[in-house]
Amino acid sequence: MDIAFVVDPLPSLKAYKDSSVAMMRALAKRGHRIHAVLQPDLSWDRGRTFATGRELEVRNDDHDWYRASEPQRRPVAAFDATIMRKDPPFDLEYVYSTYLLELAEAEGARVYNRPRAIRDHNEKLAIAKFDRFVAPTIVTRDAALIDAFIHEHRDVIVKPLDGMGGTSIFRVRADDPNRNVIVETVSHHGHRTVMLQRFIPEVVEGDKRVILIAGEPAPFSLARIPKPGETRGNLAAGGRGVARPLTARDREIAQALGPALWAEGLLVVGLDVIGDWLTEVNVTSPTCFVEIAEQAGFDVAGMFADALEAAVRR
């Protein structure tokens, strides 16, 4: 098969830990041809959607992991599958890319994750669809509602709806002398909608990434454990990743959400679970494939390749 990956610039990908590179390697090992496409390489021209991609020779050397051919422009529908793996920020250019890929779908292209589903599942707010698994949470920019929520729960997490990697996430206690300025900063003085969640103490044991592929959970999560003095477990914020078997609660959440998310066209999803509570549904470019494979010996990228091959054959 010819498989296109919409990704960030190739030199920026850290091959030793990048999940997109792990996916490419797993597929190349099976004889599939891999093509790299950047956001500016997508276009619509007189009724057809095109991608200018470079075919890759994918290698196992982390320091020299690819060789790229000369660029070639072809209809997106000419690829057997297109994998949307562009990292956030989820800005307007990201949205425009999903529009172009959705046009390609109408022309017969197979795109994973499905562009409309990516747009419909804000990675913070998507938990509202599964609120029975969610700790007390409010989404608002109303200062009075924010104040009342902090007063009620005493210890909360405040975060924007468009952040990634732990950026702009604050822990706020009711007696924090910086309480008001933190809320004002995150909400831009009430001009930006924010999410507040009751603080979950079990974060010290890890913010778990549970990976769903075609609606099924990988058997291990990656618990991102905060460094001392931190409340954020994100690896980008200095957290330490530890692979662990799924708990019964992890499986309950995964098995409840998996089929519904796969039915929407979300082939790869990263659920964030702290303690017994679902905190995020990541759909843009979920990670942690490599860490789980290295520590637990489970081939997450191979599971992805199996699922993609089955999806294309359907």
pLDDT at residue 222 is higher than 80: yes
Q: What is the pLDDT of residue 314?
A: 86
Give the residue from 182, 199, 216 where a domain finishes: 199
CB atoms within 10 A of CB 214: 20
pLDDT at residue 165 is higher than 80: no
pLDDT at residue 166 is higher than 80: no
Count H helices and E strands in the chain, helices first. 8, 18
pLDDT at residue 259 is higher than 90: yes
Greater pLDDT, 230 or 206: 206
Looking at the domain assignment, is residue 108 inside a domain? yes
Q: Let me know whether 168 and 97 are in one domain.
A: no
Give the residue from 149, 168, 199 where a domain finishes: 199
- Residue % of the chain over a pLDDT of 90: 92
Q: pLDDT averaged over the chain?
A: 95
Q: What is the pLDDT of residue 232?
A: 74
Looking at the domain assignment, is residue 123 inside a domain? no
For 98-114, the pLDDT digits (tens) are 999 999 999 999 999 99
Q: Which residues contact 313 (CB under 8 A, 6 or more apart)?
A: none
Q: Let me know whether 192 and 207 are in one domain.
A: no
Catalytic residues: 124, 159, 209, 224, 232, 272, 280, 282
Looking at the domain assignment, is residue 18 inside a domain? yes
Q: What is the pLDDT of residue 164?
A: 75
Looking at the domain assignment, is residue 101 inside a domain? yes
Q: What is the pLDDT of residue 235?
A: 77
Q: Let me know whether 173 and 79 are in one domain.
A: no
Q: Print burial letters for 127-155: b (CB count within 10 Å at least 16), e (below 16).
A: beebeebebebbbbbeeeebeebbeebee
Where residue 168 falls among pLDDT bands split at 50, 70, 90? confident
Which CATH number covers residue 300? 3.30.470.20
Q: Let me know whether 153 and 167 are in one domain.
A: yes
Q: Let me know whether 104 and 23 are in one domain.
A: yes
Where residue 61 falls among pLDDT bands split at 50, 70, 90? very high
Number of domains present in the structure of the chain: 3
Query: Which has the closest alpha carbon to 215: 253, 269, 178?
Result: 269
Q: What is the mean pLDDT of residues 65-87?
A: 98
Q: Let me know whether 182 and 221 are in one domain.
A: no
- Residue % of the chain over a pLDDT of 70: 100
Domain that holds residue 187: 136-199
Q: Let me know whether 173 and 259 are in one domain.
A: no
Q: Let me know whether 81 and 16 are in one domain.
A: yes
Looking at the domain assignment, is residue 156 inside a domain? yes
Q: What is the pLDDT of residue 205?
A: 93
Looking at the domain assignment, is residue 128 inside a domain? no
User: Can you tell me the distance from the alpha carbon of 88 to that of 150, in angstroms, rounded to the nearest whole number?
Assistant: 29
Give the residue from 148, 175, 199 where a domain finishes: 199
pLDDT at residue 234 is higher than 80: no
Q: What is the mean pLDDT of residues 165-171?
A: 83
